[in-house]
Amino acid sequence: MIDILIAILSTIGAFAIFFASLGILRMPDFYLRLSVTVKAATMGVGLLLLCAAIIFPDISVSTKALAITFFLIITSPIAAHMIGRAAYFTGTPLWKNTIIDELAGMYDKENHRLRNSDEMPEPQGEEDQIADTEEETK
Amino acid sequence: MIKQFLMNLLLSFIWVALTGSMYYTNFVFGFMLGFGILWIMNRNEGDRSYFYKVPRIISLVFYFIWQMIKANLQVAYDVITPRYFMRPGIVKFPLNARTETEINLLSMMISLTPGTLILDISEDRKTMYIHVMYLDNPEKFVREMKTGLERRLLEALR
């Protein structure tokens, strides 16, 4: 019973990591790559560690595995958030099929302050961060 | 609230000490037993909130796991098939969460669901900008997020 459970969980975990690594190659722009990689990898590593926690009868292994999973879940969203924010600041283009960008013009370029929602966004001309061609985000 | 939680923990440790097997299933069983005992023994009307919150937190955890599996399958399907089905976009999300803890937990949960990524939170902490992979309609997405994850989280915390 427990063997089957572990087999299922570890297979799902391995597949999650596989899809994450495939996603890096397949996704069309930076934000989508980040979005796919961070989450799927967290879930995959979390599931594999959970399997390790179940399979070893030693309590010290279980506590370590659970602690690692816990800190992984806490820290990886923050890393994704910081990388994504930095990418937006440096003007990394969004994919050409992006349908809406409500963040456009809300940043103060001088001091990196984000405007509040009731303030007007900075008027901007034709240029936005959404790429025009597929090549720009390769 | 915190007093009852510590009491519950103490009762589960007593259960573990009495039965003598330090295994997590035994601990969970002891915790449930302690929860039941505290519920029966509870006389003070003021301390009721603990008994509402624990089931809500557990249901939130299961709801989150379910959402995560669903989104993971969607992303995995998009990765392995040759066509792209996604319609990405950056959405403005008005926050109901006020305190630091609420915002932190909410953004952590949104970030961990595949397909959504927090880009930034405004200076006055009223709006959050989310990069979404499958965005058919921005209003619909915001409404679903508000009635789903955010409402459940705030119910569990407040």
pLDDT in tens, chain A (138 residues): 888 989 998 998 898 888 888 888 888 888 888 888 888 888 889 889 989 888 887 878 888 898 998 898 888 888 888 888 888 888 777 877 777 777 777 776 666 667 666 666 665 655 567 776 766 666
Rounded distance between C-alpha atoms, residue A109 and residue B124, angstroms: 18
Query: Is A41 in CB contact (< 8 Å) with chain B?
Result: no
Q: Which amino acid is at B83?
A: R
Chain A residue numbers touching B92 (CB-CB < 8 A): 102-103, 117
Contact by Cβ (8 Å): B127, B118: no
Query: B-contacting residues of A 59-78, CB under 8 Å?
Result: 59, 62, 73-74, 76-77
Residue with tokens 């209003």: B139
Residues 6+ apart with CB under 8 A from A32: A23, A95, B86, B88, B133
Question: How many distinct helices (H) and strands (E) make up chain B?
Answer: 6, 3
Which residue's entry shows tokens 């915002």?
A: B103
What residues of chain A lie within 8 A of the CB of B90, using their CB?
94, 98, 100-104
Q: Count of CB atoms within 10 A of residue A66's CB? A: 15
State the pTM of this model.
0.78
B105/chain A closest Cα distance in angstroms = 9
Q: How many Å apart are CA A27 and CA A136, to the nearest integer?
A: 13
